[in-house]
Amino acid sequence: MMAGTPDSAAGTDIMRPPSVAKTRAGAKGPGSAGSGKSATRGRRASGAGGKAASVQAKKTAATPAGKSLDRAQQALDKAAKTEKQLRASLKKHSRALSAAQDDLDKRHRDVKAMKSQLKTAKESRKRAAKKLGKTSKATTTR
C-alpha cells in the first residue's frame, strides 16, 4: 500500500469499513457488490414499518441516484398531467370542429338548394316571357 492512497488510510483506521476495491477483489461478504440480496432484505425489512420506510425514502432521495430518480418521477408525473390536459383539450376542440363542419355542410346544402330554386325560377321566367311574347304577337296580328 502506498502512503497517499485511500487504501492506506483504511488499513490504519479500524472503524472504517473496507474500501469498495477491497471488497470486490476479495471474497464475497455480506456487504460485497456481488450480493444483491442484502440490499433487498434491508429494504423489505424497513418497508414494512411506516416510519422506517420514510427514513429509507429520505436516505434514497439524499443520494445522487435517488435525487435523479425523484426528478425523473416528477418529470413523468408532469408529462402525464400535460398529456391528460392535451387529450381533454383535443377532445373539446374536436367537438367544436365537428360542430363547425356540420354547420358548414348544412349551409352548403342550403346554398345548393337556393341555386336549384334560382335555376328553376329563371327557367320559369324565361318560359313565361316566351309564352307572353307569343300571346302578345298573336293578339297584335289578329
Q: So what's the pLDDT on residue 136? A: 74
pLDDT digits (tens, 9 = 90+) for 28-39: 555 545 544 544
Grid coordinates standing for 98? 365537428
The interaxial angle of helices 37-48 and 50-62, nearest 10 deg, is 130
pLDDT surpassing 90 at residue 95: yes
Which tops the pLDDT comparison, 70 or 23? Answer: 70
pLDDT digits (tens, 9 = 90+) for 39-93: 445 455 444 555 555 555 555 567 888 899 999 999 999 999 999 999 999 999 9
State the sign of the Cα–Cα–Cα–Cα dihedral 131, 134, 136, 142. Answer: negative
pLDDT digits (tens, 9 = 90+) for 97-140: 999 999 999 999 999 999 999 999 999 999 998 888 877 776 77
Q: So what's the pLDDT on residue 1? A: 44
69: CB partners within 8 A, 6+ apart: 60
Q: Does pTM top 0.75 for this prediction?
A: no
List the alpha helices (DSSP H) in the chain.
6-12, 20-25, 37-48, 50-62, 64-141
What is the DSSP code (8-state) at residue 4?
Answer: T
Q: So what's the pLDDT on residue 4? A: 52
45: CB partners within 8 A, 6+ apart: 52
> CB of 10 within 8 A of CB of 16?
yes
